[in-house]
Amino acid sequence: MARKKIREYDSKRLLKQYIMSLAGLKLPLQAAQVDQTTDFQQLLDKEPWLNTTKLVVKPDMLFGKRGKNDLLALNVDYAQAETFITERMNKQVSVDGCSGGVSTFIVEPFVPHDVEYYLCIQSQRLGDAISFSDAGGIEIEENWDRVKTVTIPTAGEADGDALAPLLGSLPLELRPAIERFIQAAFMVFRELDFSLMEMNPFTLDKEGLPFPLDMRGELDDTAAFKSGKKWGELMFPQPFGRTMSQAEQTVHEADEKTGASLKLTILNPKGRVWTMVAGGGASVIYTDTVGDLGYAQELGNYAEYSGAPSTAETYTFAKTLLRCCTANPDGRKRALLVGGGIANFTSVAATFTGIVRAMKELADEIKAANVKVFVRRGGPQWQAGLDLMRKLGQETGIEVDVHGPSESMTCICKLAIDYVRSDD
């Protein structure tokens, strides 16, 4: 499971649409999204309710503490909302040490209320945890002792008996409505492959209908093959303060087009230890090992390829990564770890063919940047794959140190760091 955060606008859009189709519960949710391309008159023509009620305006950028940063407007009309957004669009803010520009807002009806509830549903290893409190809102952490949690087994149902421990503190007349709402939200959670659905707070409107005031959602993006059409036009935004480099964008686009997995995150463009690792688990182990050996600050990237990518896909991935690894040579030694465990079904020869092709094309850059390549791999056709790497060194003059499955998976980490350290 890969948990990906989505915008509050999309969380509420999906909840409203599918809680009606799955449970017949009509929520009075209305929301409009505003970004840098929004024409306010066209938005009003599309969403005329914006001019008929008082509004709440806040950034929809995957961060909290909006009130503390003068980024929350309450009980304003549409003209005031437009002014508020215009004055803050692209404003640079710092939240919990992350800085970035505010570029997306959500606009909703202002709902006067006296009582705030907390609801959180999240996936766990053996089921789904549902947490509820009658003391939600900004002081939820101070009142955490009032949060009650039940776990619904993977094949279980959130029926009345299962939810009863959550609702004992509620007045009897409110329990049926809130129980039905939790059950319906849970149906949406499972049907759409949410991994997290949190409402803090939700309240009851003047008609007694549940109304999520603030909502946070995460989806299991590996379920896109079966739920992508239900999600509709949905993007997984970058965490606040994080923008993709051109190289990261290239790999991200390739990843979206393949059934395999291709990942690249640049950590330190001037780093001297770079990784090109097969397997999600192995990539984390290699990264941790470099850190354990005291060279985390020199780690240039996090990267992994898995799921049997084609030779062409591996070539594109490798060439993009190599351009980052060899950028701005400074005469100091650099190391590239081409590692992995023992593959189950991925052909080592096929993936290494793509990697070797990219290295041959960039051989001059690799040598100019003083990069030595350390290889360790096992699995189907591993001998042929390692032979390709050895021939690469012989034919191009690139320094290549090759190891097979008889060596421990992370043996090349220490060798690489010793190589880089010799230049310190």
Classify 90 in phi/psi space as left (phi over 0), alpha (psi -120 to 50) or beta.
left
pLDDT tens digits, residue range 5-55?
A: 999 999 999 999 999 999 999 999 999 999 999 999 999 999 999 999 999
Would strands 301-306 and 277-278 be described as parallel, antiparallel, or unpaired? parallel
pLDDT value of residue 241: 65
Residues 6+ apart with CB under 8 A from 23: 180, 183, 184, 187, 188
User: Are the C-beta atoms of 225 and 131 separated by less than 8 Å?
Assistant: no
pTM of the model: 0.72
Higher pLDDT among residues 424 and 263, named by residue: 263
Least trusted range by pLDDT, from 76-85, 124-133, 203-212: 203-212
Higher pLDDT among residues 236 and 302, named by residue: 302
SS3 label, residue 44: helix
Which pair of structure tokens corresponds to residue 274?
A: 């770079």
Measuring CA to CA, how many Å separate 36 from each of 39, 64, 377? 9, 21, 47
Q: What is the C-alpha to C-alpha distance for residues 353 and 339, in angstroms, rounded to an integer?
A: 15
Give yes or no for residue 410 having a pLDDT over 90: no
Asked whether the bond before 201 is cis by omega within 30 degrees of 0, the reply is: yes
Which pair of structure tokens corresponds to residue 51?
A: 């001019």
pLDDT value of residue 5: 93
Average pLDDT over residues 85-96: 86
SS3 label, residue 70: coil
Helix (DSSP H) and strand (DSSP E) numbers for the chain = 13, 20
Phi, psi of 262, deg, nearest 5: -135, 120
pLDDT tens digits, residue range 239-270?
A: 776 778 899 999 988 988 888 889 999 999 99
- 388 CB-side CA count, 13 A: 22
DSSP characters over 354-406? HHHHHHHHTHHHHHHTTEEEEEE-BSTTHHHHHHHHHHHHHHH--EEEEE-TT
Would strands 92-95 and 98-101 be described as parallel, antiparallel, or unpaired? antiparallel
pLDDT tens digits, residue range 134-189?
A: 999 888 989 999 999 999 999 899 999 999 999 999 999 999 999 999 999 999 99
Instruction: Tell me which residue of 194, 190, 279 sits closest to 11, measured CA to CA.
Output: 194
Mean pLDDT over the full length of the chain: 91
